[in-house]
Amino acid sequence: MTSSSVLRAAPRLARVPHRSFLSVFGSQAPEFLNGVLATSIREPRRPGFSTVLNAQGRVLYDIFLFAQKDDKGKPGYVLEFDSRPSEATPLLELLKRYVLRSKVKIRDVSEEYDLWAAWGQNQLHWETKRSWQWAQSGAVEPIWSPEGEWPWGTEDGVVRDRRAVGMGKRILVRKGDKPPESQDHDLVDSYTAHRLRLGVPEGQFDIPPTHAFPMDCNLDMMGGLDFRKGCYVGQELTVRTYHTGVLRKRIYPVLLQKEDDSSIPGSLPPGLSITSGGRRPIGKLLTSEDGRGLALLRMELVDAQTQFQVKDEAGGVWNVKPTRPDWWPTSPSDTSID
């Protein structure tokens, strides 16, 4: 399914699983977050998408920022991130290390909120054609018009998900509530399948904390990095790679099919090694569901139309076919794949 067909599809609504929430309030909340996150955070306080890196430039968290007001009507943020334990320092503990004398208050509000995603034809009115800027390294970033509307929206408790065309929006609601969209959207249990169709990595199984580099995980093209802002944790290596490095890997959406009978798997464990002809590992399978998945692969092998396989825990062999989402930017040097 292409991003354009997703946009034309009937409106759908799904709960997003495995998410935690932190509130960040205080007069210096934007300045504080701007020094920690890999995108620019400024007044006025607006929604967005960003990345938390460690000092070595590896990803710790991919996060969304919701604009929100406290009980007294004062503006602040709610950060949304993967709730599952990982090798990364818990985000609350990590942020508190950086507070020092900043006038901010951070607390865990995971028991106060649920998260939903809505997509389909009701999101057509704000989706716009993407413009891209390429670096010599192969990194690429979306360029948003400074005169246009803020790309991630301006509404409290809602983020327009611009990681990919067709992703829709994310909606923060009080625990146990459903968003207003439940009145006119089809309620489905397929958020993961939706993002896999559009090739969107998310969370610790797709972006392994302390191991993954941000551009390998497409965080540049999804709008989770700013290569022109001032100092933040992990900036030095990220910016140096952008200007002088060479990207050799990307996360690709893939189709999975049994080698001998054309059946498809329900899901395979993330982290399985991908090979070609049974030789040494040349990639890694990430999240998968119902014959679709994501995989970290070397771009030169994908461009050469290498035949990839993955072996499951029972010894079954599955063919792995990378695809290119239609929303991905295309450089003059790209080789098309089906």
Per DSSP, helices labelled H in 25-172 are: 29-34, 91-99
What pLDDT is attached to residue 332? Answer: 56
What pLDDT is attached to residue 336? Answer: 44
What pLDDT is attached to residue 335? Answer: 43
pTM of the shown model? 0.93
Token duo for residue 149: 């509307």
Q: From the DSSP assignment, how many helices (H) and strands (E) are in the chain?
A: 6, 18
What pLDDT is attached to residue 311? Answer: 92
What pLDDT is attached to residue 164? Answer: 95
Query: Which residues make Cβ contacts (< 8 Å) with residue 238, sequence separation at least 6?
Result: 38, 53, 57, 214, 215, 225, 227
288 and 271 in contact (C-beta within 8 Å)?
no
What pLDDT is attached to residue 8? Answer: 61
Q: Which residues of the chain have pLDDT under 70?
A: 1-8, 332-338
What pLDDT is attached to residue 130? Answer: 84
Cα distances from 29 to residues 37, 67, 81, 236, 255, in angstroms, run 12, 11, 18, 23, 42
What pLDDT is attached to residue 2? Answer: 65
What pLDDT is attached to residue 338? Answer: 43
What pLDDT is attached to residue 22? Answer: 98
CA atoms within 13 A on the CB side of 149: 12
Residues 300 and 174: their CA atoms lie apart, in Å, by 46
